[in-house]
């Protein structure tokens, strides 16, 4: 099992953001981590990435507690701006290469070109959509076992969304797992193997997308509307 979560909870001062979630994630699949704003997706991902400490519960990445080894196996794209604005796109790649031995510079170059960006563009000159595309490219250029993308479609125009979804599919393989958080279920549905619904910090549904569609007799989008209505 690539990722095992047992009874995971996280409370902020006045609020419980993640409530007793247990789940397992297999290798070789694309998971949709779906839920509206404030449902706990970011909090969950940050705990798995080792950026936030859980209040209770256990996280195992390939059997490793969160630490140096789990972080080596995990690539996480935050919604925050985590790239230095004074860098050029090329320098961002070089910076990542120095940090991560699994960074694939050739793929980075390809993805940057596919996203209609150029290596000598300065990060501070990118529009927010262009900066998002660069963040996705740099994250997916690592050969990580576990890749978590937090809201990769936010603020991205329609044509670029297609490109991002294609890129996610292209970078998925039998050795990795990609977890994509989103509330844009309509667009996400076609690329998902597995779905995880989270509501008010609780896991409400999890399963194989095809099986869920067959068993419930409706699309993931319709089910999502029903769960969150
Ligand atoms: N640092 C914090 N301090 C206090 N409360 C927080 C903090 N971060 C998040 N929360 C609260 O925890 C809940 C879950 O937030 P989280 O960001 O994990 O949700 P999300 O599903 O990622 O939402 P979004 O799609 O809006 O990013 C929300 O009610 C939010 O207000």
At residue 228, does pLDDT exceed 90? no
Percentage of the chain with pLDDT > 70?
100
Give the chain as a DSSP string: --EEEEEEEEEETTEEEEEEEEEEE-TT-EEEEE--TTSSHHHHHHHHHTSS--SEEEEEETTEETTHHHHHHEEEE-SS--S-TTSBHHHHHHHHHHH-TTB-HHHHHHHHHHTT--TT-BGGGS-HHHHHHHHHHHHHTB--SEEEEESTTTT--HHHHHHHHHHHHHH--TT-EEEEEES-HHHHGGG-SEEEEEETTEEEEEEEHHHHHHHHTS-HHHHHHHHH-
CA-based torsion, 31, 118, 129, 76: positive or negative: positive
Q: What average pLDDT does this structure show over 80-85?
A: 87
ipTM for the predicted complex: 0.90
What are the chain's domains? 3-228 (3.40.50.300)
Q: Whose CA is nearest to atom 3 of ligand 1?
A: 12
Gyration radius of the chain over CA positions: 17
* Residue pLDDT, tens place only, 19-37: 999 999 999 999 999 998 8
Confidence of residue 14 (pLDDT cuts 50, 70, 90): confident
**Is 181's pLDDT higher than 90?**
yes
40 lines ligand 1 (CB under 6 A): yes
Q: Is the dihedral of CA 167, 170, 174, 175 positive or negative?
A: negative
Q: What is the pLDDT of residue 155?
A: 84
Instruction: Give me the pLDDT at residue 81, please.
Output: 85
With a 6 Å cutoff on the Cβ, whether 43 touches ligand 1 is: yes
pLDDT per residue as tens digits for the range 42-72: 999 999 999 999 999 999 999 999 999 999 9
Q: Evaluate: CB of 182 within 6 angstroms of ligand 1.
A: no
CA of 11 to the centre of ligand 1 (A): 10
Does ligand 1 lie within 6 Å of residue 12's CB atom?
Answer: yes
Which pLDDT does position 221 carry in this prediction?
A: 93
Q: How confident is the model at residue 159 (pLDDT cuts 50, 70, 90)?
A: confident
32 Cβ below 6 A of ligand 1:
no
What is d(CA 181, CA 36) in angstroms, rounded to the nearest whole number? 10
């Amino acid at each position: 099992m690539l990722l095992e979560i047992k009874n995971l909870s996280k409370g902020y001062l006045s609020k419980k953001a993640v409530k007793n979630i247990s789940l397992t994630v297999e290798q070789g699949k694309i998971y949709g981590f779906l839920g509206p704003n404030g449902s706990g997706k970011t909090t969950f991902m940050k705990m798995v990435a080792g950026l936030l400490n859980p209040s209770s519960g256990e996280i195992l990445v390939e059997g490793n507690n969160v630490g140096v080894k789990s972080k080596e196996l995990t690539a996480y794209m935050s919604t925050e701006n985590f790239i230095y604005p004074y860098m050029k796109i090329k320098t961002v790649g070089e910076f990542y290469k120095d940090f991560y031995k699994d960074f694939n510079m050739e793929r980075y170059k390809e993805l940057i070109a596919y996203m209609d960006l150029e290596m000598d563009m300065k990060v501070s000159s990118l529009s927010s959509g262009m900066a998002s595309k660069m963040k996705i490219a740099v994250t997916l250029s690592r050969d990580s076992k576990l890749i978590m993308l937090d809201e990769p479609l936010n603020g991205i125009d329609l044509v670029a969304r297609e490109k991002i979804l294609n890129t996610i599919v292209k970078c998925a393989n039998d050795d990795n797992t990609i977890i994509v958080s989103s509330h844009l279920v309509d667009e996400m549905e076609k690329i998902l193997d597995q779905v995880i619904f989270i509501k008010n910090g609780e896991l409400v549904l999890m399963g194989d997308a095809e099986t869920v569609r067959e068993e419930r007799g409706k699309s993931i989008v319709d089910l999502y509307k029903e769960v969150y209505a």
